[in-house]
């Protein structure tokens, strides 16, 4: 039987799924309760089932001071079908959630192509800082979204299985957390050898394209009059749409005259 101090501590953490105002009625509401007196955190682990709350099997881990350290919840089939979430594992520090891993159902994965999602929170405040998404297809790689004050600032997408094309893309957002202001594309080693491009950048303001820059490898530069980058700028005019200005530059920032087709802008 749980001691009164521990019961009060659990209730203060909001675990009314486990214990309500009275111990016996609360226990009776669950299919089964297990208690490990000495877990890896030096405290207790409560194991429970709460189908009426959508939890098929849950484990809450506490330290010696009855502070929540981790929970591992597996959801019922009915709950999983409704939410697409099969399991959640969260980690805490001083009662503040620092990390949460969400495992999605097979149906959700087939629809959204996301297998797992990992959220990282700021230790002092519990505010979301970073979200990782791992996809069902290896070629899709994984993505990491960075947040500040609740708004997305940057989205990184990694493609570890790509032999050609992009190895990584980075999208930068404006102050509103949704408008794209800059994109960066990094190319795989094979693409660098074949295409001569190391990186490209795209700048925009809302739907308006402002500038695109391509950066070249030393080998490409040596074969093309020392050009290290190509800059495409889009003139702004309220009515007339002017063709873009295209220039190649060397390492000194001087224009290099190259007679190459411009088909990638």
- Residue 84 near residue 104, CB atoms below 8 Å: yes
Smallest Cα–Cα separation from 132: which of 122, 123, 145, 141?
Answer: 145
What is the Cα Rg of the chain in Å? 27
3-state SS of 71-114 is: EEEEECHHHHHHHCEEEEEEEEECCEEEEEEEEECHHHHHHHCE
Smallest Cα–Cα separation from 12: which of 84, 136, 95, 81?
Answer: 95
Structure tokens at 259: 């007679």
Smallest Cα–Cα separation from 227: which of 193, 260, 184?
Answer: 260
Q: Is 226 left (phi over 0), alpha (psi -120 to 50) or beta?
A: left
Residue 88, C-beta contacts closer than 8 angstroms, at least 6 positions apart: 71, 72, 73, 75, 100, 101, 102, 103
What is the model's pLDDT at position 262? 67
C-alpha span between 204 and 248 (Å, rounded): 20
Residue 33, C-beta contacts closer than 8 angstroms, at least 6 positions apart: 27, 46, 47, 48
| pLDDT averaged per 10 residues in sequence order, the chain, 265 residues | 41 37 37 82 94 93 95 96 97 95 97 97 94 95 96 97 96 95 97 96 91 97 97 90 93 93 65
Signed CA dihedral, 173, 178, 181, 183: sign only = positive
Burial of 219 from C-beta contacts in 10 A (0-12 / 13-18 / 19+) = exposed
Burial of 169 from C-beta contacts in 10 A (0-12 / 13-18 / 19+) = middle
Domain ranges of the chain: 33-136
Residue 122, C-beta contacts closer than 8 angstroms, at least 6 positions apart: 128, 129
Helix H or strand E segment including 204: strand 197-205
User: Which residue matches tokens 């600032």?
Assistant: 153
């Amino acid at each position: 039987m749980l001691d009164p101090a521990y019961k009060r501590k659990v209730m203060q953490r909001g675990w009314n799924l486990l214990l309500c105002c009275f111990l016996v009625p609360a226990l009776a509401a669950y299919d089964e309760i297990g208690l490990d007196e000495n877990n890896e955190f030096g405290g207790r682990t409560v194991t429970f089932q709460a189908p009426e709350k959508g939890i098929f099997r849950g484990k809450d881990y506490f330290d010696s001071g009855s502070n929540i350290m981790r929970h591992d919840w597996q959801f019922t089939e009915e709950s999983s079908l409704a939410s697409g979430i099969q399991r959640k594992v969260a980690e805490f520090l001083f009662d503040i959630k620092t990390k949460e891993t969400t495992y999605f159902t097979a149906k959700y994965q087939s629809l959204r192509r996301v297998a797992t999602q990992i959220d990282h929170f700021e230790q002092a405040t519990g505010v979301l800082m970073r979200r990782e998404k791992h996809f069902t297809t290896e070629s899709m790689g994984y993505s990491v979204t960075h947040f500040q004050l609740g708004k997305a600032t940057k989205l990184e997408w990694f493609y570890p299985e790509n032999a050609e094309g992009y190895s990584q893309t980075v999208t930068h957002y404006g102050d509103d957390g949704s408008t794209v202001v800059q994109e960066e594309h990094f190319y795989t080693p094979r693409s660098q050898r074949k295409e001569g491009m190391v990186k490209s950048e795209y700048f925009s303001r809302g739907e308006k394209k402002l500038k695109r820059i391509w950066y070249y490898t030393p080998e490409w530069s040596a074969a093309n009059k020392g050009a290290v980058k190509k800059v495409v700028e889009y003139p702004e005019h309220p009515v007339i749409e002017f063709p873009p200005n295209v220039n190649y530059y060397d390492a000194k920032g001087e224009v290099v005259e190259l007679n190459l087709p411009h088909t990638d802008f």
